[in-house]
């Protein structure tokens, strides 16, 4: 077997066997296949796709590349396919924990223009995302939450492929997304999983058809492994929260947990309610009421503090950039669009996301939206604060095309 034949086969849109997929992907993990060869195969897959059976085989290869965790109690997991300003995990995990619904989750770094939970958590000084199997189990017992990065024992293959996809234009492939997500979910031992499929211009999945196909495949993959998977398909044409950028998003999650209603509140309550209902065998409505209750009585925020401390984070040291550019309206009218895509691109340019595998993230930069779709604005009104890395940072007219005002 050789890698060039495998690349050519997929370039010609032919189905790959288990052995061929294993040869290419495990070979890459071992260092026998070069970055440029795997990039080429990933691009052929992105263009020509994989069948469901090939995707199932790839998921299996991913899972078998590492360990599988098993917990003493049943645990939940939640995953988002990636959005702009998607800070839902940071809000729902403490809500669930406060209701004694454990959540163990392996999260990713940012992918393309979409932010990653791990980058957000790493913006909290001291927060340890490198959990061992023992840490996962201890954290679940201690505070009902364990959220860590991809480790070398759990799906190590996804860790290296994910990083390569991020910088090779191969993030938007449905089979690659499906196997990446499901391998991590299955290996990390969850019994109930909600997957929030983001769909729209600011998401990896742009069309409803693709979102429906991904939803069907995730549920089918879950079924083959005996895991209860529920999916939500949610719009991602606009940013999900008012903050885009790592530390800024943590600040907004804290505000929501303390009871402030922001863009992030509605979707967070929906995802939390779905998981609470599945875990406790309740109706969605009862799950929703419980989620609101623990925000209102302060126990969700207490769970958040306990979790951050358990993983070594020091919230008092969380910092955002002190250099702020105020984006003001140059016309009067009504805001008809707040572009997630523009926010995502600008946040990457500011340094909140990566352009190469080794790019360093600037945790303090980002965008804080001050106006929403439907708001009336006058000339000079503040539309957004842009947290830039330094005073000399140049923003072009193109960078600032976030709002459409008509
Ligand atoms: N989330 C993942 O874990 N993997 C993807 O490929 C996309 C979103």
Of the residues 78, 109, 159, 184, only one is catalytic, namely: 184
Mean pLDDT of 191-201: 90
Of the residues 40, 107, 180, 188, only one is catalytic, namely: 180
pLDDT of amino acid 258: 97
Q: Which residue's alpha carbon is nearest to atom 5 within ligand 1? A: 177
Mean pLDDT of 291-306: 98
pLDDT of amino acid 352: 93
Of the residues 165, 230, 263, 345, only one is catalytic, namely: 165
Ligand 1 atom at minimal distance to the Cα of residue 81: 8
Give Cβ neighbours of residue 146 (< 8 Å, ≥ 6 apart).
Answer: 103, 104, 105, 131, 135, 136, 137, 139, 140
pLDDT digits (tens, 9 = 90+) for 208-227: 999 999 999 999 999 998 88
Q: Does the active-site annotation cover 119?
A: no
Q: Which residue's alpha carbon is nearest to atom 2 within ligand 1? A: 181
Question: Among 6-10, 161-165, 238-242, 358-362, where is mean pLDDT lowest?
Answer: 358-362
pLDDT of amino acid 69: 87
pLDDT category of residue 200 using cuts at 50, 70 and 90: confident
Q: Considering the chain, what percentage of its residues have pLDDT values greater than 70? A: 100
Q: Does the active-site annotation cover 79?
A: yes
Q: Does the active-site annotation cover 11?
A: no
Regarding beta strands 103-107 and 145-149, do their DSSP bridges make them parallel or antiparallel, or are they unpaired? parallel
pLDDT of amino acid 312: 97
pLDDT of amino acid 367: 97
pLDDT of amino acid 191: 87
- Alpha carbon of 329 to ligand 1 centroid (Å): 36
Q: Does the active-site annotation cover 354?
A: no
Residue 111, pLDDT above cutoff 90:
no
- Alpha carbon of 268 to ligand 1 centroid (Å): 19
Domains of the chain: 3-49 (1.20.970.10), 76-316 (3.40.1030.10), 320-405 (3.90.1170.30)
Mean pLDDT of 288-297: 98
- Residue 324's DSSP bridge partners are 387
pLDDT digits (tens, 9 = 90+) for 152-174: 788 999 999 999 998 899 998 99
Ligand 1-lining residues (CB < 6 angstroms) = 81-82, 108, 111, 176-177, 180-181, 204
Residue 116, pLDDT above cutoff 80:
yes
- Alpha carbon of 283 to ligand 1 centroid (Å): 29
pLDDT of amino acid 401: 95
pLDDT of amino acid 325: 97
pLDDT digits (tens, 9 = 90+) for 302-342: 999 999 999 999 999 999 999 999 999 999 999 999 999 99
pLDDT of amino acid 32: 97
Mutation test of ligand 1: which of 162, 164, 171, 199 has the most ligand atoms closer than 8 Å to its C-beta?
Answer: 162
Mutation test of ligand 1: which of 180, 210, 211, 218 has the most ligand atoms closer than 8 Å to its C-beta?
Answer: 180
Of the residues 77, 86, 158, 166, only one is catalytic, namely: 158
Residue 61, pLDDT above cutoff 90:
yes
Mutation test of ligand 1: which of 174, 204, 210, 231 has the most ligand atoms closer than 8 Å to its C-beta?
Answer: 204
Question: Among 39-48, 195-204, 332-341, where is mean pLDDT lowest?
Answer: 195-204
pLDDT of amino acid 109: 84
pLDDT category of residue 104 using cuts at 50, 70 and 90: very high
pLDDT category of residue 188 using cuts at 50, 70 and 90: confident
CB 385 within 8 A of CB 327: yes
Residue 110, pLDDT above cutoff 90:
no
Q: Does the active-site annotation cover 158?
A: yes
Q: Which residue's alpha carbon is nearest to atom 1 within ligand 1? A: 81
């Amino acid at each position: 077997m050789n890698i060039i034949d495998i690349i050519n086969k997929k370039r010609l849109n032919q189905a790959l066997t288990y052995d061929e997929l294993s040869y290419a992907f495990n070979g890459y993990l071992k260092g026998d296949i070069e970055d440029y060869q795997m990039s080429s195969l990933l691009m052929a897959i992105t263009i020509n796709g994989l069948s469901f059976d090939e995707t199932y085989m790839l998921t299996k290869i991913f899972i078998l590349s590492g360990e599988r965790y098993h917990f003493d109690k049943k645990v939940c997991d939640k995953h988002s396919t990636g959005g702009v300003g998607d800070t839902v995990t940071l809000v729902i995990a403490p809500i669930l924990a406060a209701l004694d619904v454990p959540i163990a989750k392996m999260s990713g770094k940012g992918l393309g223009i979409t932010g990653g939970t791990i980058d957000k958590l790493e913006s909290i000084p001291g927060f340890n995302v490198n959990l061992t199997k023992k840490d996962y189990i201890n954290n679940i017992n201690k505070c009902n939450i364990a959220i860590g990065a991809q480790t070398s024992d759990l799906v190590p293959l996804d860790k290296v492929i994910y990083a390569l996809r991020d910088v090779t234009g191969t993030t938007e492939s449905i089979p690659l997304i499906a196997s990446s997500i499901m391998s991590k979910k299955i290996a990390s031992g969850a019994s109930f999983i909600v997957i929030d499929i983001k769909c729209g211009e600011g998401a990896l999945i742009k069309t409803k058809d693709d979102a429906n196909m991904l939803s069907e495949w995730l549920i089918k993959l879950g079924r083959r492994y005996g895991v209860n998977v529920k999916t939500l398909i949610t719009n991602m044409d606009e940013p999900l929260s008012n903050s885009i950028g790592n530390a800024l998003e943590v600040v907004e999650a804290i505000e929501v947990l303390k009871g402030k209603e922001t863009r992030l509140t509605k979707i967070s309550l929906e995802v939390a309610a779905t998981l609470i209902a599945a875990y406790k065998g309740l109706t969605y409505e009862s799950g929703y009421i419980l989620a609101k209750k623990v925000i209102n009585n302060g126990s969700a925020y207490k769970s958040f503090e306990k979790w951050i401390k358990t993983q070594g984070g020091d919230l008092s040291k969380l910092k955002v950039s002190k250099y702020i550019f105020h984006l003001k309206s140059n016309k009067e009218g009504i805001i008809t669009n707040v572009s997630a895509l523009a926010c995502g691109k600008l946040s990457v340019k500011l340094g909140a996301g990566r352009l190469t595998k080794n790019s360093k993230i600037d945790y303090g930069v980002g965008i804080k939206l001050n106006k929403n779709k439907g708001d009336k604005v006058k000339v000079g009104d503040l539309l957004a604060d842009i947290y830039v890395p330094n005073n000399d940072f140049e923003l072009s007219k193109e960078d600032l095309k976030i709002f459409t005002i008509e």
